[in-house]
Structure formats: structure tokens, C-alpha cells
Amino acid sequence: MNTPPLPVKRWSFLDTINLCLMIFVCLFVIDFTKNPMISWLVIVAFGIWILTVIARNLYISRHQKR
């Protein structure tokens, strides 16, 4: 049986923008000596984004195996 395609993608344009922002922020913005709270908030925000990308890929992989 063919299953209908999922409405989600493994990697989207928004993920590309987030990756570019993450690289920029890690290189130029994070500074634990001057702004430790902002630095931790940025790390947590990008960590949540990375977890959602991983979870989305796991969901797609499991759905395709059926």
C-alpha cells in the first residue's frame, strides 16, 4: 500500500535560516563574561530547535517504514 506523503519536510527553508543564525550567534554574539543570561537563553533556544529537527526526522523515518 502506498501511504500519502507527509506534509512535513526533513529540512525546510526556515531550518536553513535558523542554522545560519545559529552559526552567526555562536561566532559573534555569545559572550558568557558580559551577558551570561542572554548567552544561555540563546543556547537553550537553539537546543530546542535542534531537538525539534531531530524529532521531526525520527517521525518521518518511522512513518516511511510503515
Per-residue pLDDT tens over the stretch 15-38: 999 999 999 998 988 899 999 999
Contact 14, 49 (CB under 8 A): no
Q: Considering the entire predicted model, what is its pTM?
A: 0.79
Q: Residue 19: inside a domain, yes or no?
A: yes
**pLDDT higher than 70, residue 52:** yes
**pLDDT given at position 1:** 52
As a whole number, the mean pLDDT across the chain is: 88
Is residue 2 assigned to a domain?
Answer: no
Q: What is the pLDDT of residue 37?
A: 93
**Residue 44 domain boundaries:** 13-64
Report how many domains make up the chain.
1
Q: Is 51 exposed, middle or buried (0-12, 13-18, 19+ CB in 10 A)?
A: exposed
Binned at pLDDT 50, 70 and 90, residue 2 comes out as low
